[in-house]
Amino acid sequence: MTTFSFDGEEVTAEPGQSVGAALLAAGYRSWRTTRHGGAPRGLFCGIGVCFDCLVVVNGRPGLRACLTEVRDGDVVSSQEGAGRDHLAC
Amino acid sequence: MDVLVIGAGMVGAACAYHCAAAGLRVTVLDRGGVATGTTSGGEGNILVSDKEPGPELDLALLSVRRWRILGERIGADRLELEHKGGVVVARSAPALAGLADLTGRQRACGVDAVDVTAGDLPALEPNLTRDVTGGAHYPQDMQVQPMLAAAALLRAARDLGATVHTGTEVRGFLFGRDGAVTGVRAGSGDRAAGWVVNAAGTWGGEVADLAGAPLPVLPRKGFVLVTEPLPRVIRHKVYTADYVAGVASDDAGLETSVVVEGTRAGTVLIGASRERVGFDRRMSLPVIRELAAQAIGLFPFLADVTLLRTYLGFRPYCPDHLPVIGPDPRVPGLVHACGHEGAGIGLSAATGHLIAQTLTGATPDLDLAPFRPERFAA
Amino acid sequence: MTTSPADIAVIGAGPAGLAAAAAARGRGARVALLDSAGRPGGQYWRHRDGHNPIPASLRQDILAGHAVWHVEVEADGFVLHTTAGEVRARTVIVATGAYDRQLPFPGWTLPGVFTAGGAQAMLKGHGVPVGDRVVVAGTGPFLLPVAAALRHRVTGVFEAGSPLGFARHPLAVARNPGKLVEGARYLRALHGHRIPFHTRTAVVAAHGDDRVHAVTVARLDRNRRPVSEREIECDAVAVGYGFTPQLELPLQLGCDTRLDADGSLVATADEWQRASVPGVYLAGEVCGVGGAQLSVVEGAIAGAHAAGARPRRSLLRKRAALRAFAAAMHDTYRVGAGRPADDTIVCRCEEVTVREVRESVVDLGATDPRGVKLLARPGMGLCQGRVCGYATACLVAEACGRPVTAADLRGLAARPIAAPVTLGNLAEGVEDA
Ligand SMILES: Cc1cc2nc3c(=O)[nH]c(=O)nc-3n(C[C@H](O)[C@H](O)[C@H](O)COP(=O)(O)OP(=O)(O)OC[C@H]3O[C@@H](n4cnc5c(N)ncnc54)[C@H](O)[C@@H]3O)c2cc1C
Ligand SMILES: Cc1cc2nc3c(=O)[nH]c(=O)nc-3n(C[C@H](O)[C@H](O)[C@H](O)COP(=O)(O)OP(=O)(O)OC[C@H]3O[C@@H](n4cnc5c(N)ncnc54)[C@H](O)[C@@H]3O)c2cc1C
Ligand code: FES
């Protein structure tokens, strides 16, 4: 079993699972809001095509949750908009 | 019909709008779609900052005033017109000295150019590299979304009675007994017109040839990089002092002097290279690598940012780097508005305004002599 | 990392790419088999534990985690720029497959709405069902394995077309008895789990605030207009209207493309799977959607021919039969453009609505999808039009009062950067960066 945190909650995953699959299994459906409408989004295509499942992993924004393999101890968090608000000026 | 405009790019759209607003009956023909020529292959900078004193700077200053008026009449939003200003960065003592000399001469022509120290730059551009020597701030520089602006001006022209026919190629001209142009031969049939405006951009030379009045307009290729969407991370249009040299250069080889800017959509645009390689549409990795490297040099955070796409266009340039604007004395009835090189978006508002003044018999706000079509004959 | 040049680089390690690589290697060629994914198998083989369909002889040739973002043509071959370095080869076989095709409907952006393939990938690849009450919808035979795999978790299957259309193609069906058996097996499985299978019925809206909790399904009349509607509760939707071939690399290479019978843009291959560009082969769904079996056969032909051998006649016969079946399938499951309401989102990335797309035609004078993209931004976001390209092309053509053309789709499918790459990686190697 692999354990990681998502927005501060502990989540377990099977080894080899993607962040997206693990979040889905844990009951989460969305972990991102859109830039314009602020609408919730999560997995859609499941294979890296749609870029809807963006998530922040260990501080890196913009990763596709469906393609990113989860590792023990990962710190995963929701992404607001472009996920780079620290650069906004 | 009074005026037939060939080309529905930014320049043709500005001509059509200003002529229609001046009460002329206008028809626009384009073999492609609305704004699908070079206007869709460039950026939307409206710059006074990159111009040496001279006729092009005079035209740019007039254009900045005309763009403000267009923004008020049509709606800044519909053009995505932003008065964001430009920042030019010098990264060595000689570059800074060159820049200070330029700003001094520009100020004498009425440009609002403010010299800034290295210490002032972070306040203007918080994400800029700290490795700078100094710079200049140009509050008059602006930006539009070129395709939207062209489409919106054509829309406004249509509201004033103009008609626009896309998918219609001009293949020849009609002449009267006196040799004057009386219309064009188009894909959809002959069309009579009192004046024919050649706003065919990079293809302006081909169109001029059809009328028997050659013009040396040639393509100068450029690439633009587009990043993933970001929050507002860059406030102005930012470029290095080397850019001015690159713009004016006669070197046929590759030049890249990067301009970085944010857009309303959130993407950052990184442009642009300059190459004289004809109409070669191939992607060139060395060029886009170089643009990426230079952009990171200005804004180090860009190293972690994803490239979304690249696109390219062919600037219409003349040997002396000035556009061709005004009636052609060689062929009465033929008027040119083409060859604006890397500044056709910025210069379009003034160009359309001057063409409308000329065709309605008003005195143009600017002496058109430097832009006259027959200047190349020799 | 730069490896020494291979004879043949195969891009994509799905059924087509694996078959191509095996055939080429079997004839002595030095092969590099690249895939962006961390494991080979493509969209079809998602071996979770244990059974691995990848031939042992191939394993050393596989370069996993190599997403090709750009291909360059050089005098003596090709340079593949990947997220894990450059790979050079004299010949390339493009086998990049396809992804689910979508027709927008109100609510399709709600969390809990998945592509049919995505639902399958979650289940087969990760062991995670997308929901407990799943509505499976769209068109085509692929809905059946998706529903059969989710079993008792499926609330209903809503097929916009009707498999009865196969009756119009008795020969194509007779040449592929296996397909009939397969279809019957899936239908039996649905029956066994008491899953209702509705034909000529489509999901026309999804409802919910921050996740889907119900859908509206509608019977479609002969003109595909919704006639009677009802609401169905669910916690997930798996929807797909066929597949869209992944064409950025063939387009970068300058390969000819055409409109296929299912309305998709596909790359044009000759009888030996050669593209129009010398040194380039195509295999699998990039040159027409037809299922994993067809991909394997095309891969085997491409791999053998690229390695200088003559592909076996039996392979050519098999390909002809499978293609005939694919053509019958495309004819049976025709995809209409749909007529989504004005405030439906078309482009998920840039949140562009149907209204904005139509207005850029009517108000701003755009005459093709590329023009609309530049004015209203559908296809300008992170996915670069992969998801909304087909629907945008249909909407624009409809607003212009004409059918969709290959040029329309090409205008939205050309992507000079085929996979995400950071500016920092791009700039590497440039002095003074
Ligand atoms: C990379 C790059 C970056 C740039 N950045 C900027 C910038 O920041 N600021 C700026 O001001 N400028 C910029 N430019 C330059 C600017 O894009 C051009 O100067 C401008 O678009 C020219 O507009 P146009 O209307 O003259 O030409 P086009 O937009 O090319 O329009 C000409 C039209 O004529 C039509 N046509 C041609 N022949 C015929 C015929 N025989 N019959 C019918 N129709 C015909 C064509 O189809 C075309 O639509 C850039 C250019 C490039 C390539
Ligand atoms: C999400 C999904 C799930 C599916 N599940 C099933 C199923 O369960 N059963 C079934 O019968 N059919 C399924 N299909 C249909 C399936 O696509 C085909 O039947 C079959 O997999 C096609 O084989 P292929 O080799 O042509 O392409 P694919 O199997 O799609 O293989 C293409 C490969 O190319 C790689 N690739 C693409 N672009 C690049 C690039 N730029 N650089 C490097 N690598 C790249 C991809 O990662 C992929 O591994 C599914 C389709 C999708 C989209
Ligand atoms: S779900 Fe589409 S990219 Fe991850």
Q: Which of C241, C260, C294 is the last residue of a domain?
A: C241
Q: What percent of chain B has pLDDT over 90?
A: 89
Query: What confidence tier does C1 reach under pLDDT thresholds 50, 70, 90?
Result: very low
Our answer on whether the CB atom of C13 is closer than 6 Å to any ligand 2 atom is: yes
Q: If you average pLDDT over residues C234-242, what whole number do you get? A: 97
| Partners of chain A (3+ Cβ pairs below 8 A) | B, C
Ligand 1 contact via B28 beta carbon (within 6 Å): no
The mean pLDDT value for C183-206 works out to 92
pLDDT at B245 over 70: no
3-class state of residue A13 by DSSP: strand
| pLDDT tens, position by position, A38-79 | 999 999 999 999 999 999 999 999 999 999 999 999 999 999
- How far does the centroid of ligand 1 lie from the alpha carbon of residue C419, in Å? 29
CB-based contact (8 Å) between B307 and chain A? no
The parent domain of residue C357 ranges over 345-413
Average pLDDT, chain B: 94
pLDDT at C50: 56
Ligand nearest to the CA of C14: 2
pLDDT in tens, A1-10: 899 999 999 9
| pLDDT of amino acid C167 | 83
pLDDT at B276: 87
Examine the domain organization and report whether C251 and C225 are in the same domain. no
Within a domain: residue C431? Answer: no
Domain ranges of chain A: 2-81
- Model confidence band, residue C81 (pLDDT cutoffs 50, 70, 90): very high
Instruction: Report chain B residues whose CB lies below 8 A from the CB of A82.
Output: 228-231, 266
- Angstrom distance (rounded) from CA C414 to CA C107: 28
pLDDT of B299 higher than 60: yes
**Is there a domain that residue C421 lies in?**
no
| Domain-embedded: residue C383 | yes
Last residue of a domain, one of C304, C331, C358: C331
B86 lines ligand 1 (CB under 6 A): no
Give the residue-averaged pLDDT of C371-396.
Answer: 96
Same domain for C57 and C42: yes
CA of A42 from ligand 3 middle (Å) equals: 8
- C237 with C255, same domain? no
Q: What is the distance between the alpha carbons of residues B43 and B261, in angstroms, rounded to a whole number? A: 10
pLDDT in tens, C317-375: 999 999 999 999 998 888 876 788 999 999 999 999 999 999 999 999 999 999 999 99
Percent of chain B with pLDDT over 70: 97
CA B204 to ligand 1 centroid distance, Å: 10
Residue C100 Cα, ligand 2 centroid: separation in angstroms?
Answer: 10
- Check residue C273 and give its pLDDT: 98
Per-residue pLDDT band at B256 (split at 50, 70, 90): confident
The C-alpha angle C166, C170, C173, rounded to 5 degrees, equals 75
pLDDT, position C225: 85
Answer yes or no: are the C-beta atoms of B210 and B172 closer than 8 Å: yes
Q: Mean of the per-residue pLDDT values for chain A?
A: 95
For residue C20, give the ligand nearest its CA.
2
| pLDDT tens per residue across span B257-281 | 889 999 989 999 998 888 888 899 8
Task: Read off the tokens for C403.
Answer: 């059918």
Judged by a CB distance cut-off of 8 A, whether residue B231 touches chain A is: yes
Confidence of residue C430 (pLDDT cuts 50, 70, 90): low
Is residue C279 one of the residues assigned to a domain? yes
B230: which chain A residues are within 8 Å (Cβ-Cβ)? 82, 84, 87
Q: What is the mean pLDDT of residues B94-113?
A: 94
DSSP H or E stretch at residue C306:
helix C292-306
- CATH classification number, A2-81, choose in 3.40.50.10070, 3.40.190.10, 3.10.20.440, 1.10.260.40: 3.10.20.440
Residues of chain C with Cβ-Cβ distance to B265 below 8 Å are 350, 377, 380
Give residue B158's pLDDT: 97
Domains along chain B with CATH numbers: 3-77+145-217+320-376 (3.50.50.60), 86-139+218-317 (3.30.9.10)
Q: Are residues C282 and C217 in the same domain?
A: no
pLDDT score of C431: 47
- Closest residue in A to B302 (Cα) is A87
pLDDT at residue B378, rounded to an integer: 60
Tens digit of each residue's pLDDT (9 = 90 or more) over B14-68: 999 999 999 999 999 999 999 999 999 999 999 999 999 999 999 999 999 999 9
Are both C142 and C187 inside the same structural domain? yes
Total number of domains in chain C: 3
Distance of CA B332 from the midpoint of ligand 1 (Å): 25
Asked whether the beta carbons of residue B230 and residue A89 sit closer than 8 angstroms, the reply is: no
**Residue range B115-133, pLDDT digits in tens:** 999 999 999 999 999 999 9
CA C302/CA C306 separation, integer angstroms: 6
| Contact: C426, B305; criterion CB under 8 Å | no
- pLDDT at residue C6 above 60? yes
Interface contact C430-B167, CB threshold 8 A: no
Averaged pLDDT, C2-24: 91
Q: In the predicted model, what is the mean pLDDT of chain C? A: 93
Over the stretch C93-127, which tens digit does the pLDDT of each residue have? 999 999 999 999 999 999 999 999 999 999 999 99
Is C427 domain-assigned?
A: no
**Greater model confidence, C58 or B212:** B212
Residue C375 lies in a domain: yes
Question: What pLDDT is attached to residue C158?
Answer: 96
Tell me, yes or no, whether C116 and C199 share the same domain. yes
Say yes or no to pLDDT of C433 above 50. no
Atom of ligand 3 nearest to the CA of C118: 1
Q: What pTM did the predictor assign?
A: 0.94
Q: Residue B377: pLDDT band by 50, 70, 90 thresholds?
A: confident
| C206 reaches A (C-beta below 8 A) | no
C100 at the A interface (CB within 8 A)?
yes
Identify the domain boundary among C218, C241, C264.
C241
Q: Is the pLDDT of residue B152 over 50?
A: yes
CATH code at position C152: 3.50.50.60
d(CA A14, CA B168): 61
Whether C428 maps to a domain, the answer reads: no
CATH number for the domain that contains residue C364: 1.10.10.1100
| Residue C429 region by backbone torsions, left for phi larger than 0, else alpha for psi between -120 and 50, else beta | left
What pLDDT does residue C222 have?
A: 83
In a domain, C425, yes or no: no
**Residues framing ligand 3 (Cβ under 6 A):** A 43-46, 48-53, 64-66
Mean pLDDT over C414-430 rounds to: 90
State the ipTM, two decimals: 0.97
For the segment C278-295, the average pLDDT, to the nearest whole number, is: 97
Residues of C in contact with A66 (CB under 8 A): 118, 121
Residues B294-321: what's their mean pLDDT? 96
User: Could you write out the three-class secondary structure of chain B?
Assistant: CCEEEECCCHHHHHHHHHHHHCCCCEEEECCCCCCCCHHHCCCCEECCCCCCCCHHHHHHHHHHHHHHHHHHHHHHHHHCCECCCEEEEECCHHHHHHHHHHHHHHHHCCCCCEEEECCCHHHHCCCCCCCCCEEEEECCCEECCHHHHHHHHHHHHHHCCCEEECCCCEEEEEECCCCCEEEEEECCEEEECCEEEECCHHHHHHHHHHCCCCCCCEEEEEEEEEECCCCCCCCCEEEECHHHHHHHCCCCCCEEEEEEEECCCCCEEEEEEEECCCCCCCCCHHHHHHHHHHHHHHCHHHHHCEEEEEEEEEEEECCCCCCEEEECCCCCCEEEEECCHHHHHHHHHHHHHHHHHHHCCCCCCCCCHHHCHHHHCC
Chain C hits for B229, CB-CB cut-off 8 Å, are 381-382
* pLDDT number for residue C114: 98
